Amino acid sequence: MNIIITGASRGIGYELVKLAAQKVGDKVIIISRNKNKIETLTRECRQIQPYTQVIPIAFDLAALANYEQLGKLIAQECGTVDLLINNAGFLVAKPFTELTHQEVEQMYRVNVMGPLALIQTCMPMLLKSEKSHVVNISSMGGFQGSVKFPGLAAYASSKAALVGLTECLAEEFKDSRVSFNCLALGAVGTEMLAEAFPGYIAPTSASEMASFIWKFAREGHQYFNGKIIPVSKSTP
């Protein structure tokens, strides 16, 4: 199986890669703009499983003009893509009136335009797979009817856009062998959450959430397509 995981340099993405790299024979392409961290992660995976195939690609997902080059790098490694996990995210927690245009644009570039561009880039390879699965990682903040919090207007709305994109792509490609699903995550103990909300203790660790996502990514498309699934210990 050929797998792509974004946002691999820390948090959930980092833990996802360690799980994905354990199966001999699978090829795992990991994408992050932090070259040093994903190279360190690659070495760590090879220490755990010497025969692992982890390929780090340093790339800024917000650099929308450079996706053609990214596509070439991916195509050099694999002819098909079986699993794409759009995990990368960017969060600025700030009152709405204090947000800068640059901050809003960056959140939308990473959280919406990046996944959209990467799916477009990988679509020919996803369609060549016998059965492929695209998993978009959203947030409960982007889940309709969930509790909303001050300071997250741009972040939550960008994640809501990712929800809508997932549903639209599932409909557009419903006659293909590509499935699209979206997991709307509740609070998870990641570096990104700690930076935005210092001192807050999340009920779920990054490794716990990664374990759930990895199982869903491998098996969920047997049962779901176009579904937005809340993954949270709180209600609503």
Domain holding 17: CATH number? 3.40.50.720
Contacts of 159 (CB under 8 A, 6+ apart): 89, 111, 138, 139, 141, 142, 184
Q: Which domain holds residue 57?
A: 2-231
On whether residue 52 sits in a domain, the answer given is yes
For residues 108 and 217, give the distance between their C-alpha atoms in angstroms, rounded to a whole number.
24
Question: How many structural domains does the chain have?
Answer: 1
In a domain, 236, yes or no: no
Per-residue pLDDT at 236 = 66
Specify if 53 maps to a domain.
Answer: yes
Q: Is residue 132 assigned to a domain?
A: yes
In the three-class reduction of DSSP (H, G, I as helix; E, B as strand; rest coil), residue 218 is classed as helix
pTM: 0.96
> Is the residue at 193 inside a domain?
yes
Query: Quick one: pLDDT at residue 22?
Result: 94
Residue 163 is assigned to a structural domain of this protein: yes
Number of Cβ atoms within 10 Å of the Cβ of 26 = 16
Compute mean pLDDT per 10 residues along the chain, 236 residues long, and list them. 97 98 95 97 95 97 97 97 98 97 98 98 98 97 88 96 98 98 96 92 96 98 97 83
